Amino acid sequence: MSGWTATAKPSSRPRAVTVINEVNKRSMSDVVQVENVARGRSRAIVRVPWDDQLGSDRATLRAPRALRPQMRHAYTALAAVSLAGVVMTADEAEVCR
C-alpha cells in the first residue's frame, strides 16, 4: 500500500468514511486489504459493488431505480454515514460553545 493508507495515523475519533468502489469477485483480496488498513482510521467503511450498467459506454442511467438493489443499498448507506458525520460534527460544535 502506498499513499495515505501507509502513513495515516489513527485518531482518537475517526471522522473519515472509506468508500471502496467497483467491488466484485476479482477485487475482493484488494478490498479486504483496504478494509484492514482503514479499520480504526475510519468511522465507516462502505463497499460499493460494480454495476455492469455503469461500465457500458452506451448505458444511460435514467433513474436510481435502474441500478441493482445492492448498489442502491450501498449508496443509501454512504448517504446515511455521511449525514451522521454532519450531525455528529454539529453536535460537537454545540458542545464546544
Question: What is the C-alpha to C-alpha distance for residues 75 and 95, in angstroms, rounded to an integer?
Answer: 30
Instruction: State which residues of the chain have pLDDT below 70.
Output: 1-12, 55-62, 88-97
CA angle 57, 60, 65 (to 5 degrees): 130
The answer to whether residue 70 sits within a structural domain is yes
Sign of the torsion angle spanned by Cα atoms 53, 54, 57, 61: positive
Q: How many domains does the chain have?
A: 1
Residue 16 bridge partners (DSSP):
42
Q: How far is CA 74 from the centre of its chain?
A: 8
The answer to whether residue 1 sits within a structural domain is no
The answer to whether residue 6 sits within a structural domain is no
pTM of the model: 0.69
The answer to whether residue 74 sits within a structural domain is yes
The answer to whether residue 37 sits within a structural domain is yes
What range does the domain containing 81 cover?
A: 12-52+66-96
What's the confidence (pLDDT) of residue 84?
87
What's the confidence (pLDDT) of residue 1?
45
The answer to whether residue 57 sits within a structural domain is no
The answer to whether residue 24 sits within a structural domain is yes
What's the confidence (pLDDT) of residue 17?
92
The answer to whether residue 39 sits within a structural domain is yes
Question: What is the C-alpha to C-alpha distance for residues 14 and 44, in angstroms, rounded to an integer?
Answer: 9
